[in-house]
Amino acid sequence: MAINPRNRGPLRTLSVLVLLILGLYGLLGAVSTWGTAQRTPKLGLDLEGGTQLILAPKVVGNQQISEGQVQKAVDIIRARVDGSGVAEAEVTTQSTNIVISLPGTPDKATIASLQKSSQLRMRATLVEASGAPTPLPTTSGQPTAPPTKKPTGTVTGIPKATGTPTGKATTAPRSGFPTALAAATTPAPTSTVASTTTAKPAAPTGTAKPKDPSDLAWVTPELEKTFTALNCADPKSVEAIVDDPAKPMVTCSSDGQVKYILGPAEVFGTEIKNATSGQKQTQSGSTGEYEVRLDFNAAGTKSFCDLTSRIVSLPSPRNQGAIVLDNRVISNPVPQAALCAGNASITGNFTAASSKVLADQLKFGALPLSFGLLTQDDISPTLGGDQLRYGLLAGAIGLLLVVAYSLFQYRALGLVTVSSLVIAALLTYGIVTLFGWSYGFRLTMAGVTGLIVSIGITADSFIIYFERVRDEVRDGRALKAAVETGWARARRTILISDAVNFLAAIVLYALAASNVRGFAFTLMLTTLVDVVVVFLFTHPLLSILANTRFFGEGHKWSGLDPKRLGARTVTYAGRGRVTIAARRA
Protein backbone atom coordinates (compact mmCIF):
# COMPACT_ATOMS: atom_id res chain seq x y z
CA MET A 1 0.00 0.00 0.00
CA ALA A 2 1.47 3.33 -1.10
CA ILE A 3 2.06 6.02 1.47
CA ASN A 4 -0.01 9.16 1.06
CA PRO A 5 2.46 11.85 -0.12
CA ARG A 6 0.91 14.26 2.38
CA ASN A 7 1.92 11.93 5.23
CA ARG A 8 5.58 11.55 4.34
CA GLY A 9 6.73 14.62 6.27
CA PRO A 10 4.78 13.76 9.47
CA LEU A 11 5.92 10.14 9.27
CA ARG A 12 9.56 11.22 9.09
CA THR A 13 9.04 13.36 12.19
CA LEU A 14 7.40 10.46 14.03
CA SER A 15 10.29 8.18 13.05
CA VAL A 16 12.70 10.61 14.75
CA LEU A 17 10.67 10.29 17.97
CA VAL A 18 10.61 6.49 17.69
CA LEU A 19 14.40 6.40 17.29
CA LEU A 20 14.75 8.73 20.29
CA ILE A 21 12.66 6.45 22.51
CA LEU A 22 14.42 3.30 21.29
CA GLY A 23 17.82 4.90 21.90
CA LEU A 24 16.79 6.07 25.37
CA TYR A 25 15.57 2.66 26.51
CA GLY A 26 18.35 0.85 24.66
CA LEU A 27 20.89 2.85 26.67
CA LEU A 28 18.96 2.17 29.87
CA GLY A 29 18.92 -1.55 29.12
CA ALA A 30 22.65 -1.59 28.36
CA VAL A 31 23.79 0.27 31.49
CA SER A 32 21.46 -1.78 33.70
CA THR A 33 22.59 -5.11 32.20
CA TRP A 34 26.32 -4.49 31.90
CA GLY A 35 26.72 -1.45 34.12
CA THR A 36 25.66 -0.29 37.57
CA ALA A 37 22.33 1.32 36.68
CA GLN A 38 18.94 0.11 37.88
CA ARG A 39 15.78 -0.04 35.79
CA THR A 40 13.68 2.02 38.18
CA PRO A 41 14.26 5.59 39.38
CA LYS A 42 16.34 6.02 42.52
CA LEU A 43 14.36 7.25 45.51
CA GLY A 44 15.34 9.90 48.04
CA LEU A 45 15.58 9.84 51.81
CA ASP A 46 11.91 10.53 52.35
CA LEU A 47 10.81 7.57 50.23
CA GLU A 48 13.60 5.01 50.62
CA GLY A 49 15.52 5.88 53.77
CA GLY A 50 19.28 5.74 53.99
CA THR A 51 22.22 6.16 56.33
CA GLN A 52 22.85 8.81 58.96
CA LEU A 53 26.41 9.70 59.92
CA ILE A 54 27.28 11.85 62.91
CA LEU A 55 30.77 13.35 62.78
CA ALA A 56 32.31 14.69 65.97
CA PRO A 57 35.24 17.17 65.89
CA LYS A 58 38.56 15.99 67.29
CA VAL A 59 39.61 18.46 69.98
CA VAL A 60 43.32 18.79 70.72
CA GLY A 61 44.13 20.06 74.22
CA ASN A 62 42.14 23.16 75.10
CA GLN A 63 41.19 23.90 71.51
CA GLN A 64 38.05 26.01 71.21
CA ILE A 65 35.57 25.26 68.44
CA SER A 66 33.70 28.23 66.98
CA GLU A 67 30.35 28.29 65.24
CA GLY A 68 32.05 29.66 62.14
CA GLN A 69 34.38 26.65 61.94
CA VAL A 70 31.46 24.24 62.17
CA GLN A 71 29.48 26.11 59.51
CA LYS A 72 32.49 26.18 57.18
CA ALA A 73 32.89 22.44 57.68
CA VAL A 74 29.19 21.96 56.80
CA ASP A 75 29.61 23.93 53.57
CA ILE A 76 32.70 21.94 52.56
CA ILE A 77 31.10 18.58 53.37
CA ARG A 78 27.96 19.55 51.44
CA ALA A 79 30.14 20.47 48.44
CA ARG A 80 31.95 17.12 48.73
CA VAL A 81 28.63 15.26 48.83
CA ASP A 82 27.36 17.10 45.75
CA GLY A 83 30.69 16.59 43.98
CA SER A 84 30.56 12.84 44.61
CA GLY A 85 27.24 12.61 42.74
CA VAL A 86 25.07 11.81 45.78
CA ALA A 87 21.83 13.76 45.34
CA GLU A 88 19.15 14.67 47.90
CA ALA A 89 21.53 14.36 50.86
CA GLU A 90 21.05 16.46 53.99
CA VAL A 91 23.88 18.06 55.99
CA THR A 92 22.95 19.73 59.30
CA THR A 93 24.54 20.56 62.63
CA GLN A 94 23.87 19.18 66.09
CA SER A 95 25.74 21.35 68.57
CA THR A 96 29.34 21.02 67.32
CA ASN A 97 28.63 17.70 65.60
CA ILE A 98 27.74 17.42 61.92
CA VAL A 99 24.84 15.16 60.89
CA ILE A 100 24.95 13.78 57.34
CA SER A 101 21.93 11.90 55.99
CA LEU A 102 22.65 10.03 52.76
CA PRO A 103 20.03 8.17 50.72
CA GLY A 104 20.66 4.47 50.23
CA THR A 105 23.73 2.72 51.61
CA PRO A 106 26.97 4.63 50.94
CA ASP A 107 30.20 2.66 50.52
CA LYS A 108 33.16 2.92 52.88
CA ALA A 109 35.09 5.14 50.49
CA THR A 110 32.29 7.73 50.45
CA ILE A 111 32.07 7.76 54.25
CA ALA A 112 35.85 8.09 54.59
CA SER A 113 36.01 10.94 52.08
CA LEU A 114 33.44 12.97 54.04
CA GLN A 115 35.14 12.82 57.43
CA LYS A 116 38.70 13.39 56.25
CA SER A 117 40.10 16.83 56.88
CA SER A 118 41.94 16.69 53.53
CA GLN A 119 44.67 18.96 54.88
CA LEU A 120 47.31 18.77 52.16
CA ARG A 121 50.88 19.96 52.69
CA MET A 122 54.13 19.42 50.83
CA ARG A 123 57.33 18.91 52.80
CA ALA A 124 60.95 18.10 52.09
CA THR A 125 62.02 14.56 52.99
CA LEU A 126 64.89 14.33 55.52
CA VAL A 127 65.05 10.68 56.59
CA GLU A 128 63.27 7.57 55.36
CA ALA A 129 63.13 4.08 56.85
CA SER A 130 61.02 0.96 57.17
CA GLY A 131 57.70 1.43 58.96
CA ALA A 132 58.70 -0.96 61.77
CA PRO A 133 60.14 0.49 65.03
CA THR A 134 63.79 -0.23 64.14
CA PRO A 135 66.68 1.88 65.48
CA LEU A 136 67.99 4.64 63.29
CA PRO A 137 71.60 3.80 62.29
CA THR A 138 74.03 6.59 63.06
CA THR A 139 77.64 7.27 62.17
CA SER A 140 79.33 10.16 63.97
CA GLY A 141 75.98 11.65 64.78
CA GLN A 142 74.80 11.45 61.17
CA PRO A 143 71.71 9.42 60.20
CA THR A 144 72.96 7.07 57.52
CA ALA A 145 72.03 3.82 55.86
CA PRO A 146 72.89 1.87 52.73
CA PRO A 147 71.07 3.21 49.69
CA THR A 148 68.20 0.93 48.78
CA LYS A 149 65.18 0.94 46.54
CA LYS A 150 62.27 2.15 48.59
CA PRO A 151 58.54 2.64 48.26
CA THR A 152 57.02 6.04 47.97
CA GLY A 153 53.71 7.06 49.46
CA THR A 154 50.56 5.68 47.89
CA VAL A 155 46.96 6.75 48.01
CA THR A 156 44.99 5.72 51.09
CA GLY A 157 43.19 2.45 50.67
CA ILE A 158 44.78 1.63 47.30
CA PRO A 159 47.18 -1.30 46.82
CA LYS A 160 50.80 -0.37 46.27
CA ALA A 161 52.03 -0.26 42.70
CA THR A 162 55.44 -1.10 41.34
CA GLY A 163 57.34 1.24 39.12
CA THR A 164 60.59 3.13 38.74
CA PRO A 165 63.11 3.15 41.61
CA THR A 166 63.38 6.44 43.46
CA GLY A 167 65.97 8.75 41.96
CA LYS A 168 65.27 7.45 38.44
CA ALA A 169 61.75 8.65 37.98
CA THR A 170 61.06 10.34 34.71
CA THR A 171 58.67 13.08 33.76
CA ALA A 172 56.90 13.21 30.43
CA PRO A 173 55.09 16.32 29.22
CA ARG A 174 51.35 15.95 28.87
CA SER A 175 49.26 17.63 26.24
CA GLY A 176 48.55 21.12 27.51
CA PHE A 177 49.71 20.25 31.02
CA PRO A 178 53.38 19.67 31.98
CA THR A 179 53.94 16.74 34.27
CA ALA A 180 55.30 18.11 37.50
CA LEU A 181 55.99 15.04 39.55
CA ALA A 182 56.84 11.41 38.87
CA ALA A 183 56.31 8.97 41.72
CA ALA A 184 58.69 6.09 42.30
CA THR A 185 56.98 3.07 43.78
CA THR A 186 59.37 0.14 43.97
CA PRO A 187 58.82 -1.87 47.18
CA ALA A 188 61.72 -2.45 49.53
CA PRO A 189 62.48 -5.21 52.02
CA THR A 190 61.10 -4.31 55.41
CA SER A 191 64.38 -5.09 57.13
CA THR A 192 66.34 -2.36 55.36
CA VAL A 193 66.51 1.33 56.14
CA ALA A 194 66.75 3.93 53.41
CA SER A 195 68.34 7.26 54.21
CA THR A 196 70.84 9.72 52.91
CA THR A 197 74.48 8.74 52.55
CA THR A 198 75.86 12.26 52.59
CA ALA A 199 74.08 14.02 55.39
CA LYS A 200 75.06 17.04 57.36
CA PRO A 201 75.68 16.46 61.05
CA ALA A 202 72.50 16.54 63.06
CA ALA A 203 72.31 19.07 65.85
CA PRO A 204 72.64 17.09 69.06
CA THR A 205 70.68 19.52 71.17
CA GLY A 206 68.86 21.56 68.56
CA THR A 207 71.22 24.57 69.04
CA ALA A 208 72.27 24.69 65.36
CA LYS A 209 69.78 26.74 63.40
CA PRO A 210 68.60 25.00 60.18
CA LYS A 211 69.37 26.93 57.02
CA ASP A 212 66.37 25.68 55.03
CA PRO A 213 63.57 23.06 55.31
CA SER A 214 65.88 20.38 53.84
CA ASP A 215 68.63 20.91 56.43
CA LEU A 216 69.31 17.83 58.60
CA ALA A 217 69.78 20.17 61.56
CA TRP A 218 66.02 19.74 62.01
CA VAL A 219 66.66 16.13 63.10
CA THR A 220 67.13 16.55 66.87
CA PRO A 221 67.71 13.67 69.32
CA GLU A 222 64.10 14.01 70.46
CA LEU A 223 62.88 13.70 66.89
CA GLU A 224 65.15 10.67 66.35
CA LYS A 225 63.66 9.04 69.43
CA THR A 226 60.12 9.61 68.17
CA PHE A 227 61.11 8.32 64.73
CA THR A 228 62.71 5.17 66.15
CA ALA A 229 59.70 4.36 68.32
CA LEU A 230 57.08 4.95 65.61
CA ASN A 231 55.40 1.73 64.46
CA CYS A 232 53.35 2.39 61.34
CA ALA A 233 51.49 -0.90 61.83
CA ASP A 234 50.09 0.29 65.17
CA PRO A 235 46.88 2.36 64.68
CA LYS A 236 47.31 4.10 68.06
CA SER A 237 50.86 5.12 67.23
CA VAL A 238 49.77 6.49 63.87
CA GLU A 239 46.79 8.30 65.42
CA ALA A 240 49.13 10.16 67.75
CA ILE A 241 51.05 11.79 64.87
CA VAL A 242 51.03 15.58 65.19
CA ASP A 243 51.18 17.76 62.07
CA ASP A 244 52.48 21.21 62.96
CA PRO A 245 53.23 23.02 59.69
CA ALA A 246 55.94 25.18 61.28
CA LYS A 247 57.90 22.17 62.59
CA PRO A 248 59.37 18.97 61.17
CA MET A 249 57.17 15.91 61.57
CA VAL A 250 57.52 12.17 61.88
CA THR A 251 54.91 10.29 59.90
CA CYS A 252 54.13 7.17 57.86
CA SER A 253 53.23 6.43 54.29
CA SER A 254 49.56 5.82 53.66
CA ASP A 255 50.14 2.06 53.31
CA GLY A 256 52.19 1.90 56.54
CA GLN A 257 55.27 0.43 54.86
CA VAL A 258 57.58 3.43 55.26
CA LYS A 259 58.12 6.13 57.88
CA TYR A 260 59.68 9.52 57.40
CA ILE A 261 61.17 12.56 59.05
CA LEU A 262 59.97 15.54 57.04
CA GLY A 263 60.93 19.20 57.12
CA PRO A 264 58.49 22.04 57.85
CA ALA A 265 55.56 22.48 55.46
CA GLU A 266 56.30 24.62 52.41
CA VAL A 267 53.24 24.25 50.14
CA PHE A 268 49.70 24.21 51.54
CA GLY A 269 46.35 22.98 50.30
CA THR A 270 44.97 26.51 50.58
CA GLU A 271 47.35 27.49 47.78
CA ILE A 272 45.67 25.08 45.36
CA LYS A 273 43.47 26.98 42.91
CA ASN A 274 41.90 23.94 41.26
CA ALA A 275 42.20 20.16 41.25
CA THR A 276 40.99 17.75 38.57
CA SER A 277 41.40 14.07 37.84
CA GLY A 278 41.75 11.96 34.73
CA GLN A 279 44.06 9.72 32.78
CA LYS A 280 47.63 10.84 32.33
CA GLN A 281 48.31 12.17 28.84
CA THR A 282 51.57 12.11 26.92
CA GLN A 283 52.52 13.17 23.40
CA SER A 284 51.63 9.67 22.20
CA GLY A 285 48.25 9.61 23.93
CA SER A 286 46.79 8.33 27.18
CA THR A 287 48.92 6.09 29.38
CA GLY A 288 45.91 4.57 31.14
CA GLU A 289 47.27 5.76 34.51
CA TYR A 290 45.04 8.04 36.56
CA GLU A 291 46.40 11.18 38.16
CA VAL A 292 45.27 14.21 40.14
CA ARG A 293 46.22 17.50 38.49
CA LEU A 294 46.84 20.57 40.64
CA ASP A 295 46.81 24.25 39.69
CA PHE A 296 48.43 26.57 42.22
CA ASN A 297 47.73 30.21 42.89
CA ALA A 298 50.55 32.76 42.84
CA ALA A 299 51.74 31.98 46.38
CA GLY A 300 51.59 28.23 45.76
CA THR A 301 53.45 28.55 42.48
CA LYS A 302 56.33 30.34 44.19
CA SER A 303 56.43 27.93 47.15
CA PHE A 304 56.37 24.87 44.90
CA CYS A 305 59.06 26.35 42.67
CA ASP A 306 61.29 27.06 45.69
CA LEU A 307 60.80 23.51 47.03
CA THR A 308 61.58 21.69 43.77
CA SER A 309 64.48 24.03 42.90
CA ARG A 310 66.20 23.24 46.20
CA ILE A 311 65.70 19.46 46.45
CA VAL A 312 66.43 18.59 42.81
CA SER A 313 70.20 18.53 43.43
CA LEU A 314 70.15 16.86 46.87
CA PRO A 315 71.07 13.19 47.44
CA SER A 316 68.44 10.56 48.05
CA PRO A 317 66.12 10.60 49.97
CA ARG A 318 66.35 14.37 50.42
CA ASN A 319 65.62 14.85 46.72
CA GLN A 320 62.02 13.82 47.35
CA GLY A 321 59.11 16.16 48.00
CA ALA A 322 56.61 14.43 50.28
CA ILE A 323 52.93 15.10 49.62
CA VAL A 324 51.21 14.78 53.00
CA LEU A 325 47.43 14.40 53.18
CA ASP A 326 45.80 14.15 56.61
CA ASN A 327 49.14 13.41 58.33
CA ARG A 328 50.06 10.59 55.92
CA VAL A 329 52.46 10.62 52.98
CA ILE A 330 50.41 9.69 49.92
CA SER A 331 53.30 10.20 47.48
CA ASN A 332 57.00 10.99 47.74
CA PRO A 333 58.05 11.83 44.18
CA VAL A 334 61.40 12.97 42.79
CA PRO A 335 61.30 16.06 40.55
CA GLN A 336 63.88 16.06 37.76
CA ALA A 337 63.95 19.83 37.43
CA ALA A 338 62.67 22.99 39.09
CA LEU A 339 58.92 23.14 38.52
CA CYS A 340 57.74 26.73 38.34
CA ALA A 341 54.82 26.58 35.89
CA GLY A 342 52.20 26.73 38.62
CA ASN A 343 50.83 23.21 38.17
CA ALA A 344 51.67 19.69 39.20
CA SER A 345 50.29 16.18 39.13
CA ILE A 346 50.04 13.47 41.76
CA THR A 347 50.44 9.99 40.32
CA GLY A 348 50.19 6.63 41.95
CA ASN A 349 47.98 3.56 41.85
CA PHE A 350 44.79 5.59 41.41
CA THR A 351 41.51 4.41 39.96
CA ALA A 352 39.01 6.68 38.23
CA ALA A 353 36.91 6.82 41.41
CA SER A 354 39.75 7.35 43.90
CA SER A 355 41.40 10.05 41.81
CA LYS A 356 38.09 11.93 41.58
CA VAL A 357 37.55 11.65 45.34
CA LEU A 358 40.99 13.12 46.07
CA ALA A 359 40.55 15.87 43.45
CA ASP A 360 37.18 16.85 44.95
CA GLN A 361 38.65 16.94 48.46
CA LEU A 362 41.47 19.22 47.35
CA LYS A 363 39.24 21.39 45.16
CA PHE A 364 36.61 22.07 47.81
CA GLY A 365 39.22 22.75 50.46
CA ALA A 366 40.32 21.27 53.76
CA LEU A 367 38.00 21.10 56.73
CA PRO A 368 38.88 23.61 59.44
CA LEU A 369 38.62 20.76 61.96
CA SER A 370 39.41 17.07 61.99
CA PHE A 371 36.34 14.88 62.46
CA GLY A 372 35.81 11.33 63.59
CA LEU A 373 32.83 9.08 62.91
CA LEU A 374 30.74 9.09 66.09
CA THR A 375 27.78 6.97 64.97
CA GLN A 376 26.46 5.41 61.78
CA ASP A 377 22.81 4.35 61.73
CA ASP A 378 20.26 3.25 59.20
CA ILE A 379 17.33 5.64 58.97
CA SER A 380 13.82 4.76 57.84
CA PRO A 381 12.02 6.80 55.19
CA THR A 382 10.24 9.82 56.61
CA LEU A 383 7.28 9.30 54.28
CA GLY A 384 7.70 5.72 53.14
CA GLY A 385 5.90 3.47 50.72
CA ASP A 386 2.40 4.51 51.80
CA GLN A 387 2.98 8.16 50.96
CA LEU A 388 4.54 7.20 47.63
CA ARG A 389 1.50 5.06 46.82
CA TYR A 390 -0.81 7.91 47.78
CA GLY A 391 1.17 10.28 45.59
CA LEU A 392 1.06 7.91 42.63
CA LEU A 393 -2.66 7.36 43.24
CA ALA A 394 -3.21 11.12 43.17
CA GLY A 395 -1.30 11.28 39.89
CA ALA A 396 -3.36 8.45 38.43
CA ILE A 397 -6.62 10.16 39.45
CA GLY A 398 -5.44 13.41 37.88
CA LEU A 399 -4.48 11.58 34.70
CA LEU A 400 -7.86 9.85 34.51
CA LEU A 401 -9.66 13.17 34.97
CA VAL A 402 -7.63 14.72 32.15
CA VAL A 403 -8.41 11.73 29.89
CA ALA A 404 -12.12 11.84 30.78
CA TYR A 405 -12.31 15.58 30.06
CA SER A 406 -10.42 15.18 26.76
CA LEU A 407 -12.73 12.41 25.56
CA PHE A 408 -15.82 14.36 26.62
CA GLN A 409 -14.70 17.66 25.10
CA TYR A 410 -12.83 16.44 22.02
CA ARG A 411 -14.31 12.94 21.51
CA ALA A 412 -12.03 10.87 19.25
CA LEU A 413 -9.57 13.76 19.12
CA GLY A 414 -9.09 13.19 22.85
CA LEU A 415 -7.30 9.93 22.00
CA VAL A 416 -4.47 12.08 20.62
CA THR A 417 -4.21 13.62 24.09
CA VAL A 418 -4.10 10.20 25.74
CA SER A 419 -1.42 8.86 23.39
CA SER A 420 0.62 12.06 23.81
CA LEU A 421 0.53 11.69 27.60
CA VAL A 422 1.70 8.08 27.26
CA ILE A 423 4.65 9.16 25.11
CA ALA A 424 5.50 11.93 27.60
CA ALA A 425 5.39 9.40 30.46
CA LEU A 426 7.73 7.02 28.59
CA LEU A 427 10.27 9.78 27.95
CA THR A 428 10.10 11.13 31.51
CA TYR A 429 10.49 7.70 33.11
CA GLY A 430 13.51 6.82 30.99
CA ILE A 431 15.23 10.17 31.53
CA VAL A 432 14.66 10.18 35.31
CA THR A 433 16.01 6.63 35.57
CA LEU A 434 19.10 7.43 33.50
CA PHE A 435 19.74 10.58 35.54
CA GLY A 436 19.75 8.41 38.63
CA TRP A 437 22.56 6.36 37.12
CA SER A 438 24.61 9.13 35.52
CA TYR A 439 24.13 12.04 37.95
CA GLY A 440 22.88 10.36 41.14
CA PHE A 441 19.45 12.03 40.86
CA ARG A 442 16.93 10.70 43.36
CA LEU A 443 13.18 11.09 43.18
CA THR A 444 11.65 12.57 46.33
CA MET A 445 8.02 13.24 47.16
CA ALA A 446 8.54 16.82 46.01
CA GLY A 447 9.81 15.45 42.69
CA VAL A 448 6.76 13.20 42.38
CA THR A 449 4.62 16.30 42.96
CA GLY A 450 6.43 18.01 40.09
CA LEU A 451 5.61 15.07 37.82
CA ILE A 452 1.93 15.24 38.80
CA VAL A 453 1.78 18.98 38.12
CA SER A 454 3.32 18.35 34.69
CA ILE A 455 0.23 16.41 33.62
CA GLY A 456 -1.75 19.64 33.63
CA ILE A 457 1.04 21.54 31.85
CA THR A 458 1.21 18.91 29.10
CA ALA A 459 -2.57 18.80 28.70
CA ASP A 460 -2.63 22.59 28.48
CA SER A 461 -0.42 22.50 25.38
CA PHE A 462 -2.77 20.05 23.65
CA ILE A 463 -5.79 22.18 24.48
CA ILE A 464 -4.16 25.28 23.00
CA TYR A 465 -3.39 23.40 19.78
CA PHE A 466 -6.79 21.73 19.45
CA GLU A 467 -8.69 24.95 20.08
CA ARG A 468 -6.66 26.78 17.44
CA VAL A 469 -7.53 24.05 14.92
CA ARG A 470 -11.21 24.15 15.87
CA ASP A 471 -11.19 27.95 15.49
CA GLU A 472 -9.93 27.52 11.93
CA VAL A 473 -12.67 24.96 11.23
CA ARG A 474 -15.26 27.42 12.57
CA ASP A 475 -13.94 29.99 10.10
CA GLY A 476 -14.84 27.63 7.29
CA ARG A 477 -11.42 26.13 6.48
CA ALA A 478 -11.05 22.51 5.45
CA LEU A 479 -9.51 20.34 8.17
CA LYS A 480 -6.18 19.84 6.37
CA ALA A 481 -5.70 23.57 6.06
CA ALA A 482 -7.05 24.16 9.55
CA VAL A 483 -4.44 21.82 11.08
CA GLU A 484 -1.50 23.68 9.52
CA THR A 485 -2.90 27.17 10.10
CA GLY A 486 -3.89 26.30 13.66
CA TRP A 487 -0.40 24.87 14.33
CA ALA A 488 1.25 28.06 13.08
CA ARG A 489 -0.86 30.03 15.56
CA ALA A 490 -0.57 27.57 18.47
CA ARG A 491 3.12 26.70 18.51
CA ARG A 492 4.23 30.21 19.45
CA THR A 493 1.76 30.28 22.34
CA ILE A 494 2.91 26.82 23.48
CA LEU A 495 6.58 27.83 23.38
CA ILE A 496 5.93 31.03 25.33
CA SER A 497 3.90 29.16 27.97
CA ASP A 498 6.57 26.48 28.38
CA ALA A 499 9.33 29.10 28.47
CA VAL A 500 7.60 30.87 31.37
CA ASN A 501 7.24 27.57 33.25
CA PHE A 502 10.87 26.69 32.56
CA LEU A 503 12.19 30.05 33.77
CA ALA A 504 10.09 29.83 36.94
CA ALA A 505 11.51 26.34 37.59
CA ILE A 506 15.09 27.59 37.07
CA VAL A 507 14.60 30.42 39.57
CA LEU A 508 13.04 28.03 42.08
CA TYR A 509 15.89 25.56 41.63
CA ALA A 510 18.54 28.25 42.08
CA LEU A 511 17.00 29.86 45.16
CA ALA A 512 15.40 26.92 46.93
CA ALA A 513 17.06 24.27 49.05
CA SER A 514 16.56 20.65 50.03
CA ASN A 515 13.59 18.79 48.50
CA VAL A 516 12.08 21.87 46.84
CA ARG A 517 14.89 21.65 44.30
CA GLY A 518 13.61 18.18 43.39
CA PHE A 519 10.24 19.69 42.53
CA ALA A 520 11.89 22.40 40.43
CA PHE A 521 14.09 19.87 38.62
CA THR A 522 11.22 17.59 37.60
CA LEU A 523 9.23 20.65 36.51
CA MET A 524 12.10 21.74 34.24
CA LEU A 525 12.45 18.23 32.86
CA THR A 526 8.76 17.70 32.09
CA THR A 527 8.50 21.14 30.48
CA LEU A 528 11.22 20.18 28.00
CA VAL A 529 9.54 16.80 27.44
CA ASP A 530 6.26 18.62 26.70
CA VAL A 531 7.92 20.62 23.90
CA VAL A 532 9.42 17.44 22.41
CA VAL A 533 6.10 15.56 22.50
CA VAL A 534 4.04 18.39 20.97
CA PHE A 535 6.51 19.01 18.14
CA LEU A 536 7.52 15.40 17.39
CA PHE A 537 4.29 13.54 18.13
CA THR A 538 1.08 15.54 18.62
CA HIS A 539 1.35 17.78 15.54
CA PRO A 540 2.60 15.07 13.12
CA LEU A 541 -0.10 12.65 14.36
CA LEU A 542 -2.87 15.21 13.89
CA SER A 543 -1.54 16.00 10.40
CA ILE A 544 -1.84 12.31 9.48
CA LEU A 545 -5.33 12.02 10.98
CA ALA A 546 -6.47 15.05 8.95
CA ASN A 547 -5.90 12.97 5.79
CA THR A 548 -8.30 10.22 6.93
CA ARG A 549 -12.02 10.13 6.07
CA PHE A 550 -13.10 9.93 9.72
CA PHE A 551 -11.39 13.17 10.75
CA GLY A 552 -10.98 14.87 7.37
CA GLU A 553 -14.70 14.75 6.56
CA GLY A 554 -15.64 15.89 10.05
CA HIS A 555 -17.40 12.82 11.46
CA LYS A 556 -19.66 13.79 14.36
CA TRP A 557 -17.55 11.70 16.78
CA SER A 558 -14.24 13.04 15.52
CA GLY A 559 -14.39 16.18 17.63
CA LEU A 560 -13.91 18.25 14.46
CA ASP A 561 -17.46 18.19 13.08
CA PRO A 562 -18.02 21.59 11.37
CA LYS A 563 -21.73 21.55 12.16
CA ARG A 564 -21.19 20.86 15.85
CA LEU A 565 -18.51 23.56 16.00
CA GLY A 566 -20.78 26.09 14.31
CA ALA A 567 -18.64 26.59 11.23
CA ARG A 568 -19.46 29.56 9.01
CA THR A 569 -20.86 29.09 5.48
CA VAL A 570 -20.19 31.42 2.59
CA THR A 571 -23.13 31.99 0.15
CA TYR A 572 -23.05 33.98 -3.11
CA ALA A 573 -25.76 36.67 -2.97
CA GLY A 574 -25.32 38.03 -6.50
CA ARG A 575 -23.83 41.22 -7.90
CA GLY A 576 -20.46 40.41 -6.33
CA ARG A 577 -21.84 40.02 -2.84
CA VAL A 578 -21.42 37.10 -0.40
CA THR A 579 -23.13 36.29 2.89
CA ILE A 580 -21.48 34.53 5.83
CA ALA A 581 -23.63 32.63 8.28
CA ALA A 582 -22.85 30.29 11.10
CA ARG A 583 -23.98 26.71 10.78
CA ARG A 584 -26.23 25.34 13.45
CA ALA A 585 -26.21 21.77 14.55
Lowest mean pLDDT among 59-68, 148-157, 404-413, 552-561: 148-157
* Helix and strand element counts for the chain (H, E): 16, 16
Q: What is the DSSP letter of 95?
A: T
Four-residue CA torsion sign, 88, 94, 98, 99: negative
140 has pLDDT over 80 = no
Average pLDDT value for residue range 3-12? 80
**SS3 call for 41:** coil
pLDDT at residue 142, as a whole number: 47
pLDDT of residue 320: 92
> Residue 156 pLDDT > 90, yes or no?
no
Range from 28-37, 84-93, 108-117, 370-379 that averages highest in pLDDT:
28-37
Residue 148 DSSP SS3: coil
3-state secondary structure of 477: coil
Rounded distance between C-alpha atoms, residue 433 and residue 228, angstroms: 56
The predicted structure's pLDDT at residue 284: 82
Phi-psi region of 547 (alpha: psi -120 to 50; beta: other; left: phi over 0): alpha
Which of 168-177, 293-302, 402-411 has the lowest average pLDDT?
Answer: 168-177
Weakest-pLDDT range from 107-121, 367-381, 484-498? 107-121
Residue 513 pLDDT level (bands cut at 50, 70, 90): low
Which residues have C-beta within 8 Å of that of residue 91, sequence separation ≥ 6?
A: 74, 77, 78, 81, 98, 99, 100, 101
Q: Which residues, at least 6 apart from 539, have a Cβ–Cβ distance to it below 8 Å? A: 10, 13, 465, 487, 491
**Percentage of the residues of the chain whose pLDDT score is greater than 70:** 80
DSSP 213: T
- Residue type at position 77: I
Query: Would you tell me how many other CB atoms lie within 10 Å of the CB of residue 504?
Result: 14
CB atoms within 10 A of CB 4: 12
Using the predicted structure, report yes or no on whether residue 260 has a pLDDT greater than 80. Answer: yes
- pLDDT (average), residues 292-296: 89
Query: Mapping DSSP to helix (H, G, I), strand (E, B) and coil, where does residue 17 land?
Result: helix
Region 372-400 average pLDDT: 79
Q: How far from the centroid of its chain's Cα atoms is residue 120's Cα?
A: 22
Residue 426: pLDDT band by 50, 70, 90 thresholds?
very high
Bridge partners for 142 per DSSP: 139
Give the per-residue pLDDT at 486. Answer: 92
Using alpha carbons, select from 551, 578, 583 the residue that is nearest to residue 566: 583
* Residue 519 CB partners (closer than 8 Å, separation 6+): 446, 447, 449, 450, 508
Residue scoring higher pLDDT (582 or 204)? 582
pLDDT at 6 over 60: yes
Mean pLDDT value across residues 276-293:
85
pLDDT band at 71 (very low <50, low <70, confident <90, very high): confident
User: How would residue 147 be classed by pLDDT, with cut points 50, 70 and 90?
Assistant: very low
Burial of 176-185, coded b for 16+ CB within 10 Å and e otherwise, reads ebebbbbbbb
